[in-house]
Structure 1
């Protein structure tokens, strides 16, 4: 997608890829600081840098310093502020176990497994858990996603790695009493990973001065909505139209 975007830009534009923003200093122009030690200036900064957005963190740190009263001091004081701490992603209380399953192995166990219907998307549902699976790579693999809800974890700050490899036994243990078809898939699980699904709650603001947030930097949502990418494209379209208006430009 990045390549498609870059190819659509006029050759007269100056492009810098693989730059990691660490913070910015508000002003006209805004001054951007990067991980490689370089800086750059711009009239407008659009933070499309995802759920771990350095733009969002910098925006709220700056806003906190100039607008909020706090007993805490230091660059991270905004994280304890009732208004500004919402800029930190929170855990949904959902673990997502993901892997690819070789269909040759699965259908060797059960030649009549329901997933054998090419193109079908199946959802196995239970209390606080569900599994979504479907064929990919011409039917040679199943994309396997198992979601487990931990109600006490919703809205908390996750203290472990967000994505980590886990043993097959951990995935199997979460679905001990499920139906035979599910157990057959679990027998074929290879190199599963566990993802702690995070979101960015409603922000009190996503624009400050000449800096704006879009996409996951502004409203990261859980993947079951199937809407995150589309919403980011809509953000970019609307912001682009606004910036192109003669009254702005």
Structure 2
């Protein structure tokens, strides 16, 4: 259940074995990713290579110029870190060098490669299938029963909940576990299980956008982000940027944090298109090259960054959680997609 990065990569992995008949159920009307960037670190890249996806992904990757495309070498520049939260005096204070660096993609390109690969396998892809609930079998030989929001039903031997932050599979697993714990008299453990059902707002909001490279070059010739990944840092905020789409676009993610609000409710839509001026207002005093990025933003979306509390287990019976459904995390290590892939 779930057709994001984690669900599709898992389908690709399972499809290598004739022992599995794989169905992927996606809630949306089509398999479509938000057009932002995604980074893959070496461990996750090794998985993709093992699955035979490296060559196709290399064709749509943006690779640091020090690298031969997708041949990861030791000690590669991953990010420049720059103080950028004042109108004057910004400076680069650190260069992060890691084994292999980070390979960046435009998310829709990454997904298209996965879907094209799955089209060559026996994997069956279903859209407009939002899981409503599931029932674990009472006997080992019986299947799991799935019921979707449109009333359709299906059966499976193993259910993988790759259904994201608001996971129906996670909620069903934890509520069933809590009911069993209550019946056994373990009321505190039952309440702990239930606390994992609802995601928690981190107090952080993220503005995400992509910028055409030619637009940024016209606005600010020689802008440092055109050729390298940068993180601009300031008090309670950061702007992460890197080239994607083979250098045709720049991914921009600006995070602002109100840490005192962590754990409170976010009372607006969790993902919402907002005017460009909303982004600019939160970071109005940052250095000119950050403002140049904002000048080039044509549309942006605001994301309330939520996480999941640590769970005692990602497995219950024949249901298992994957990716954000299991461990939605903060974006600062750029590891969310990679963790799901691994």
* TM-score for the superposition, normalised by structure 2: 0.58
Matched, 1:111 2:221: yes
Q: 1:53 aligns with which of 138, 163, 167?
A: 167
CA 1:214–1:138 in structure 2 vs 1: closer, same or farther (change >3 Å)? closer
* TM-score for the superposition, normalised by structure 1: 0.77
- Residue aligning to 1:65: 179
How many Å apart are 1:146 and its aligned residue?
Answer: 0.9
- Residue aligning to 2:323: 215
How many Å apart are 1:162 and its aligned residue?
Answer: 1.2
Distance in structure 2 (CA, Å) of the matches to 1:6 and 1:201 = 36
Aligned length: 218
Alignment of 1:1-249 (within 5 A): 1-5=114-118, 7-9=120-122, 15=124, 17-18=126-127, 19-27=129-137, 28=139, 29=142, 30-68=144-182, 81-116=191-226, 118=227, 120-234=228-342
CA 1:201–1:3 in structure 2 vs 1: closer, same or farther (change >3 Å)? farther
Distance in structure 1 (CA, Å) of the matches to 2:340 and 2:246 = 30
Distance in structure 1 (CA, Å) of the matches to 2:130 and 2:193 = 27
How many Å apart are 1:55 and its aligned residue?
Answer: 0.9
Distance in structure 1 (CA, Å) of the matches to 2:261 and 2:253 = 20
CA 1:155–1:131 in structure 2 vs 1: closer, same or farther (change >3 Å)? same
Distance in structure 2 (CA, Å) of the matches to 1:16 and 1:138 = 28
SS in 2 for 1:218: helix
SS in 2 for 1:190: coil
Distance in structure 2 (CA, Å) of the matches to 1:220 and 1:147 = 16
Structure 1 unaligned regions, length at least 5: 70-79, 235-249
| Structure 1 outlier segments of 4+, above 6 Å | none
Contact 2:174 2:196 in 1 (8 A): no
Distance in structure 1 (CA, Å) of the matches to 2:218 and 2:161 = 49
How many Å apart are 1:5 and its aligned residue?
Answer: 3.6
1:138-182 superposed Cα distances (whole Å, 9 cap, x missing partner): 544322211111112223332221111111211111112211111
How many Å apart are 1:54 and its aligned residue?
Answer: 1.0
How many Å apart are 1:65 and its aligned residue?
Answer: 2.7
CA 1:209–1:112 in structure 2 vs 1: closer, same or farther (change >3 Å)? closer
How many Å apart are 1:211 and its aligned residue?
Answer: 1.9
Contact 2:200 2:264 in 1 (8 A): yes
CA 1:103–1:212 in structure 2 vs 1: closer, same or farther (change >3 Å)? closer
How many Å apart are 1:216 and its aligned residue?
Answer: 1.9
Structure 2 unaligned regions, length at least 5: 1-113, 184-189
